[in-house]
Structure 1
Amino acid sequence: MNYKLYLTILFFLPFSLLGQQKKSKADDLFYAYQYEKAIAEYKSEMAKRSLSNLQLLNLADAYFQTGKFDDASKLYLDVNKNDTIMTVNQFNKLLQSLSKNSERERVKTFLRSKADKLSPELLENAEFNYSLLEIATDNSNTVIEGIGANSAQGDFSPTFYKDGLLFSSSRLQKSKSVYEPSGESYLDIYYGKLGADGELVDVRVFDKIPDSKFHKSTPYYSEKYASFYYILSNTENDELAYDDNGKNALAIGILTDSGKSSFLLKDLSTSFYYPFMDDTTGRLYFAANFDDSYGGTDLYYVYTNNGQIFSAPKNLGPRINSPGNEISPYIHNGSLYFSSDIFYGYGGMDIYKSNMLEGDAFTIPVNLGNGINTVADDFGFIIKEGADNNSLTGYFSSNRNGGKGGDDLYRFSLKNTPGLKTFTLKGKVVNLTNKVGLDKVSIKLLDREGEVLKETFSTVDGDYRIEVPWSSQITVQTSKDGYSQLSTTYSEDGMEDLQNKSFNMGLVKLEDLLTNKEDKTILKLDKFYFDKGKSIMNAQVETELNKVVDAVMHFPSLRMVIENHTDSRGSSAYNKKLSTDRANTIKNYLLQKGVSPNNIVDVVGFGEEKIKNNCTNGAYCLDFLHKQNERTLIVVVDK
């Protein structure tokens, strides 16, 4: 039994009810998963009458399930043109069909045409992973081998337990009935000890979890909570339980080491898959087909306490979940591993990795690459440190060519953490003056050579997020017309620090720094004075000049003229020299603080040439009136 058939369990209807609800023989065959026969019957019915769009989509799905991707894509496209009943999951199958026919460029064109209707996360994930697929994956240090204990039936969903592995299988056994859609046994949980070579020995049915005549699968054991979490068919009085529409779904059960078992998540209309308990946070992760799904099955979590659920399911969001199916969550060293059949993979179900950030945020899920992933279905990935702590080892499931059954268990060992490492920067850009978020700010990431790796723009609230493959050095640059620019470079250590927190940036609007005075555009400064008769720095002068330094740091192309004026007390020659000396003192201070000579166009000491009031030579004036004439202007001549 492969994962696709496993996912269709949620749609399983008793055949008596199917016969009552369906309108044609082809529909009955389709909903009984007899896809080849359904295709033949739909074609026969098409010769007699037109099929409804729903039936055409059923036929397209049947083509898809049987590998006839060219026929599937044509039908999906035809229905998509004429009707809006196509689900987002069928939209993913459409793009998968095109991808499987090596029409990746056509997929990209189709995505661009639908960009206004698709989530930005989906578009970014697709662009990022398409670029990865064009890079040859280095798997020279990865060893992948099939498990000798695999059977001719389906074996999947491995999980570590003590000195061995638990896994799910549809191996035939006397205590289990045959599950009609697969022709194999209802699923059960098995255990095998791990030998020194990573092989499984002494494989047998795992008898600690209560027996069931129906499905029991995908176990996970939590050391911290000393409990097993697993999937089982909904039953009542030891028989399958159906909802009002005749649907039998899957529930999550829990078994503690004390032997107490119970349903943990149960809904007759909703199926749950692949439970994983994160001991660090107390979150129980799983896949499910709730109404808020972004496509097929999505990944969720709930909080638990002493084996009880005490929060509503939380969807992991569009960065992780897609129009496809997401299953088998597994967390290791701050990274979420999961599988998805989203269209931008190698073909079927692929394994992805996403780093977990603060606030339920995730980095772009990256495909683990060729070798671990194939054109077949690859899923159920688990990983841990090797015995020597210098390597990593793990297991996953796949129905790739060369196996024994529908799905088989594979083991791997590798030297480095799988998947491309990425650098993610997120936060908010605000106006430093009023702390309001700024939209349409350009945020660029540059590499060591100054080449732009990626550019994004802040939202209307000033929020931004940008992600690129890891680099040994990153420069962050921001710009917006009329606002200051930022450019900061970080080494790898600095990049690691930035990854795990919000990186908020403040920009200054140039107009907020300027004012008009004496028919000139000048920098907005508080009035300051040199000591009487002196041209040396004092604390008041230094405080205001630091604002000039800050303005130039924000606006490196700013060009200015330094003007100094005195009052009329003293001789004209003395005042001329004093104001020139003061202007030069200002210039020298700015240069010492890092202002470029290119920013200072001219330095002018006017002395008493431009008195602002009647306090000219020989006139009696109070001191505060003389002070009005003593001033420094930083005149902006080029913004």
Structure 2
Amino acid sequence: MKKIILFIFTIISSHCFAQAELKKADRLLNSYAYTEAVGLYNNYFEKNKDASPETYLKAADANYFTNNMRQASMLYEKTYKANGTLEEPYLSRYVRSLRSVRDYEKADAIYLKYLKANQNEEEIQKYKSEAKAFNTLLKSEEPSRYTLTNLDINTKYSDFVNVIHGDEVIFSSSRPGAAKELYAWNEQPYLSQFSAQRNENGQLAEPSLYAQQISSNFHDATIAMVPNSNVVYFTSSAIKKNKLVLDEGQNNNFSIYKGVLENGKITGKETVFFAAAEYSTGHPSVSSDGKYLFFASDMPDGYGEADIYYSEIFEDGTLSTPKNAGEIINTSGNDYFPNLIDGELYFSSNGHVGFGGTDLYVSNFSEEKGFSELQNLGKVANSADDDFSIVFNEDRKSGYLSSNRAGGKGDDDMYYFIRKPLTCDQLIGGRVTDKLSKQQLDAVTVTAKDLENTILGTTQTDTNGLYELKIPCNTKVTLVANKDGFIEKSQITTTGDVDGTATEKVNFELRKIEDVIVKDDKGVEKIKLDAIYFDYNKWDITPQAAQVLDKAVDLFNELPNMRIKIESHTDSRGKNEYNLNLSDKRAKATQEYIYSKGIAKDRIESATGYGESRLLNKCADGVRCTDSEHDLNRRSDFIILTR
């Protein structure tokens, strides 16, 4: 009997101990001591195979926030199956944990099912669009632009880059030796800021504590410099009299401070006006042109957990009221570590459809147009874990990023990267037709040349007269259209800066040589023009004559190397000397008209009147001829010397 009582007492004691351990785990979870909470939850599950869905959910959160994504996904799944669903934010955490273990199809299916149940058609289409873009990126065999090298100075603790300042890299680290306290979240020391000299291959020398006078026993997280200035912005735990400032929920938040950097020391520390104890402001970054302060915050009325905001930096150094970067950038998850450089906003997010954890993205930004559709930086730059905080060297071809990916030295590691230039091509196309008949011309050779006359591409028109060439972006191009029996024609255009798009169409109208150039019986080439008529005893260019001469001007423009001479003739009626002088004045009037249309003077070798000295028929002095026979001798010849 005593044995039975002892056995029952042992069971009751064991149960009570387990319940006490579970309550302690819950208390640790609520106080953000996730690492210790994970251990207690694991102990509880070893002794209790059938825990409640609520307990599985809490344990899933503890694992999620300590980046144990495999365990988190399995625990979320237990609650999901038990309840048939999960509400936000747990549903999103479940989906993100699945993506982190590369279970992309399952993650997509679960999230789309949730959106459909909530009848959110706009979000469904947005998610499908992002998922399609990601799957294309995932399946792409195109090599990554990025090559990464893990830095020798990384530790088993958290190390992530802040900013490049001259020859120094300033980074955050929880390595021992700076902060005295341990951060309960991950049981590592609080973050402090360090600096290290960089060398030619991107590695960093032995680091030292940076700006020690702003260091505290708590988080001193990130820093940003205003270009061409000694003003800095930095993030620290909100403290007062060396104690953490807590909000109503007993949470300590981050605040952004402003200061002045002088001789390696930061003075004049002051809190930015939009910081508050009720929410965090952090991850400050000043744009490369010094015009904007970007930062992350979970202030009220955002899109999710942490959103990206920006303030204009006025000439006097004051800041504008922060603006939310909007729904293109921000999500229901965490969006942070912004860095605006040369009009491109780089940032990290776990709310967009990505590889898992937080991914690195880029979006173009301008004050007029706002933010463009974002792009995932792709494989290598991103992994299934957290990838964040990217900064660039001055060459924009290399820099540093941070990641807790597998294969690193510890928690977060810093990586030096080299980035290959972006491949960017645009399509130039159009149609080629016969200028006179308007018929489409096939087999026309279209060649593209750059400013150095290097051939960038060549093609031929199809049966519909269409052509298309792929030309590098931001390139000034001369297009030349050529076909036997037609006058070659060229046009200049410039490609844009968006890969894969088409420029405005460049169409050609070609003229048959026989339509504009004739040969006389001696093989001399002449411009084919209608007769040019002058008023009696005058050499002024009439409107009718101008219309004919404009066709000659067109040919000059189409044949930039053409040179001619002008010969003007009269019939035999009238005195020889009179005819000679009149024809010469008409030839020179014709020449001057062509010059007035912008044709260079060296392109007309001479303009000479021959009077009646070169008749084409029998109609000399004393010979009876009809008017039409005389008209044959009244002519202006535009003789082509070279073309």
**In the alignment, is residue 218 of structure 1 matched against residue 222 of structure 2?**
yes
Distance 1:276 1:422, change over 3 A: farther
Candidates 393, 396, 404, aligned match of 2:401: 396
**Post-superposition shift, 1:306?**
6.2
TM-score by length of 2: 0.56
Taking every aligned residue pair, what percent have the same amino acid on both sides? 26
Letter in 2 for 1:192: A
1:384, 1:97 → 2: CA distance? Answer: 33
**Post-superposition shift, 1:329?**
0.6
1:184, 1:155 → 2: CA distance? Answer: 12
Map 1:214-363 → 2, pairs under 5 A: 214-257=218-261, 259-264=267-272, 265-278=274-287, 280=289, 282-305=291-314, 310-342=319-351, 344-357=353-366, 359=368, 361-363=370-372
Map 1:18-417 → 2, pairs under 5 A: 24-31=23-30, 32-33=33-34, 34-40=36-42, 43=45, 50=52, 52=54, 55-64=55-64, 65-67=67-69, 68-75=71-78, 77-78=80-81, 81=84, 84=87, 86-87=88-89, 90-113=90-113, 114=115, 116-117=119-120, 119=123, 121-139=126-144, 142-173=146-177, 176-207=180-211, 210-257=214-261, 259-264=267-272, 265-278=274-287, 280=289, 282-305=291-314, 310-342=319-351, 344-357=353-366, 359=368, 361-386=370-395, 392-417=397-422
Q: Which runs of 5+ in 1 are unaligned?
A: 1-21, 424-447, 449-469, 474-490, 500-639
Aligned CA-pair RMSD: 3.7
The answer as to whether partners of 1:125 and 1:319 remain within 8 angstroms in 2 is: no
Distance 1:309 1:147, change over 3 A: same
**Post-superposition shift, 1:76?**
5.6
Letter in 1 for 2:129: E
Count of residue pairs brought into register by the alignment: 407
Q: Which runs of 5+ in 2 are unaligned?
A: 1-20, 428-458, 460-470, 475-492, 502-643
2:256, 2:244 → 1: CA distance? Answer: 15
1:82, 1:121 → 2: CA distance? Answer: 22
Distance 1:422 1:385, change over 3 A: farther
1:321, 1:126 → 2: CA distance? Answer: 16
- Which structure's CA Rg is the greater one? 2
**Post-superposition shift, 1:320?**
1.0
- Give the 3-state SS of the residue equivalent to 1:129 in structure 2: helix
Distance 1:29 1:236, change over 3 A: closer
Higher relative contact order (CA 8 A, sep 6+): 1
Distance 1:158 1:289, change over 3 A: same
The answer as to whether partners of 1:122 and 1:318 remain within 8 angstroms in 2 is: no
- Give the 3-state SS of the residue equivalent to 1:77 in structure 2: helix
Q: 2:454 maps to which residue?
A: none
1:495, 1:162 → 2: CA distance? Answer: 30
**Post-superposition shift, 1:112?**
4.2
Letter in 2 for 1:30: L
The answer as to whether partners of 1:76 and 1:94 remain within 8 angstroms in 2 is: no
2:271, 2:261 → 1: CA distance? Answer: 15
Distance 1:102 1:207, change over 3 A: closer
The answer as to whether partners of 2:45 and 2:51 remain within 8 angstroms in 1 is: no
**Post-superposition shift, 1:155?**
1.0
- Give the 3-state SS of the residue equivalent to 1:318 in structure 2: coil
Distance 1:305 1:355, change over 3 A: closer
> 1:479-532: CA deviations, max 9, x gaps?
xxxxxxxxxxxx972575999xxxxxxxxxxxxxxxxxxxxxxxxxxxxxxxxx
> 1:537-590: CA deviations, max 9, x gaps?
xxxxxxxxxxxxxxxxxxxxxxxxxxxxxxxxxxxxxxxxxxxxxxxxxxxxxx
**Post-superposition shift, 1:379?**
0.9
**Post-superposition shift, 1:364?**
2.5
The answer as to whether partners of 1:341 and 1:348 remain within 8 angstroms in 2 is: yes
**Post-superposition shift, 1:319?**
1.0
- Give the 3-state SS of the residue equivalent to 1:24 in structure 2: helix
- Give the 3-state SS of the residue equivalent to 2:495 in structure 1: helix
